[in-house]
Structure formats: C-alpha cells, structure tokens
Amino acid sequence: MADADNKREAGASLMFVGLSVVVVDLLVVFFLPAAVKVGRHTMYFGIVAALALVGLALITKGYGMRGRDNAE
C-alpha cells in the first residue's frame, strides 16, 4: 500500500513539473515577437519545441504512473 502511495505521489510530482515546464514554455512564446524582431527566431522555435516536448513527456509519464496504481 505504501509503495502504491509513493508511485502515485511521484506521478503527481512529475505531472506538476511537466505543467511547470509547459508554463515556462508559454512564457518563452510570450517573448517570441521580440526574438523575431532581433532576428533569433529559429533559436526560440527550437526552445519552444524542446520545452513543449519535455513538458508533455513528463505529464504523460506522471499520468501513466498514477494510472497503473489504480489498475492494480
């Protein structure tokens, strides 16, 4: 029972960290127009894509960890 609680808590933590990364990604998107004016838009598109992939991967991993506990 304690192991299931630890996995559920770890999954929730991963989901929270993933959501935080997505929020940071939205902050980067907010500053994207300034980057386009300076001429560094490809670097910002790379950062946006990388942060979005990492955030979604963490959310998916956390959701999977929480979902397996309910099935057992």
| Owning domain of residue 19 | 2-71
Confidence of residue 68 (pLDDT cuts 50, 70, 90): low
Residues in the chain, total: 72
Number of domains present in the structure of the chain = 1
- What tokens appear for 72 in the block? 């057992």
Q: Is the pTM of this model over 0.85?
A: no
Tell me which residue of 12, 20, 31, 28 sits closest to 54, measured CA to CA: 20
7-66 confidence digits (pLDDT tens): 888 888 999 999 999 998 888 888 777 767 777 777 778 888 898 999 999 999 999 888
